[in-house]
Structure formats: C-alpha cells, structure tokens
Amino acid sequence: MVHEVLAAVLQVRYATSGPPTLRVLLWRRALDPHIGRWSLPGGRLRPDEDVEASIRRQLAEKVDVKQLSHVEQLAVFSAPDRVPGPRVVATAFLGLVPTGVDPEVPEDTAWHELDALPRTAFDHGAIALRARDRLRAKLCYTNLGFALAPKEFTVSTLRDLYSAALGYRVSATNLQRVLSRRGLLAPTGGTAVPGRAGGRPAALYSFTGKGIQVTDPFAVFRPPARPPRRPARRAAPS
C-alpha cells in the first residue's frame, strides 16, 4: 500500500475584471493514469517525515508555494478503488495563501475557480470541494479570515474576500461589527489611498492574531434566509 499526501491550496484571487473568486491550485498530470487531467499537488510520503512536513516540502519543491498562511489536515481518503492499480491512501490538507501573494508556479500549474473546476484526476475534484466546504465552515466560527487577508485591508476589501470564499455577499457593516466585538479586528491607524473617484480615505484594519481562535458562531455570515413560499391560491368554484 502506498501513502501519499495531497494539498488543496486555496486563495481568493482578483481577475482583470469582475469580483474576486476562490480558486484552487492544480497541476496537469504528465503520466498515466489520467494523463493530461488536472490534479492536486503532492506525492508519496517519505519514511523519515510526517504528513505535514511532507506536504510543505512538496509544495515548496514542486509548485514553489512557500507562503502558506494556514495549513491543516483535511481528511484521509482511503477508498480501495480511488486510484487504479495498487492501493493508494491519501492524507489531504487544506492550505491557504493570503490575497495579494502571487507564488511563481510552473507552466503546467494554474489557479482554477472552485465553482468551475476542469476535469480532474482520480478523486481530486471531490477533495478540492471538501477543502472549500471546510474553509466556509471555519469562517463562520473562527478567525480564519486572517489567512485569506493581506496584512492590512479596508473593511470593504475584507467583505469582498469573505463573500468570495463563502459564495454569497456579506454585509461589510455586520462583518466589521462581529469581528471587532470579539476582539479579532483592530484599526491600524492608517488609511488606504483614495481611488479615482476620490472621497474620504478608508481606514485600514488588521487581524489581531494569526492563530486559530474558536468563537461563537457568526450567524451574520450565514446565507440570507429564503422567504417562505406562499401557498398556491386555489381557484374559486365555478
């Protein structure tokens, strides 16, 4: 049996136009099986290393990703038929890269939107979506937003990052109130450079800590409730 480690490295990235989107780092396989399909970076576990040391090494060596702001074990994937041939068990990790950092990646590696994944190898697409779901869940009860954000940011920028990661629009006012009330967000004293439209410079903020802190659930970060469906109106008797 072979033991491999894989990483779903996620980042909120800005495109040339449009809002930022949550993306995952994938590389194209050069060997069979599934040659040409996109896969998560990783490889075999060495006898002299633990799983986290292995994935950090492989990300640094193979896709030049050294600037991870957060790494955590996601799950073990051990279905007997997950890979053709001899059995391969995978320990998968969630890794986060802060917005604004742009790792130099090889030509066969690219960032892909999680809502529009290409054809992936083996179960790597399902692992990437599991990582997305873990991130979304933790954003609602921890301060994990620190791993997505740059060192300093405006509240509107932070709102855009949370909205991209969660998949629905978050209120900037509520986001600031919830995080500040729990002591997770603090003003830096600086201001952002005004845009072309001018106006009052926006205040800059930063997270007060870089380690995971569990808090009360942030109900304000949940998707907007759908209005109740109205019962169908019965036709009047003729």
Residues 82 and 21 in one domain: yes
The two tokens of residue 109 are 């590696």
Other beta carbons within 10 angstroms of residue 218's beta carbon come to 19
**Cα 231 to chain centroid, rounded:** 39
Q: Which segments of the chain have a pLDDT < 50? A: none
Domain range for 187 = 144-221
Find tokens 């903020």 and name the residue. Answer: 205
HEC profile of 159-180: HHHHHHHHCCCCCHHHHHHHHH
Same domain? 115 vs 187: no
Q: Is the dihedral of CA 181, 182, 188, 192 positive or negative?
A: negative
**Is residue 82 situated within a structural domain?**
yes
Cβ-based burial of 189 (10 A; exposed 0-12, middle 13-18, buried ≥19)? exposed
pLDDT computed for residue 213 by the predictor: 86
**What's the pLDDT at 185?**
93
For residue 153, being part of any structural domain is answered with yes
| Three-state helix/strand/coil letters over 7-72 | EEEEEEECCCCCCCEEEEEEEECCCCCCCCCEECCEEECCCCCCHHHHHHHHHHHHCCCCCCCEEE
Q: Classify residue 150: in a domain, yes or no.
A: yes
* Same domain, yes or no: 104 and 156: no
Number of domains in the chain: 2
Residues 7 and 99 in one domain: yes
Q: What is the CATH number of the domain that holds 75?
A: 3.90.79.10
Query: What is the biggest distance separating any 2 CA atoms in the chain, rounded to whole angstroms?
Result: 83
| pLDDT number for residue 194 | 75
Q: What is the pTM of this model?
A: 0.90
62 and 151 co-located in one domain? no
Alpha-carbon distance 114 to 29, whole Å?
19
9 and 115 housed in the same domain: yes
Q: How large is the angle between the packed helices 172-181 and 155-166, nearest 10 degrees?
A: 100
> Is 84 a domain residue?
yes
CATH number, position 157: 1.10.10.10
Q: How far is CA 213 from CA 11, 70, 115, 138, in A?
A: 20, 13, 28, 10
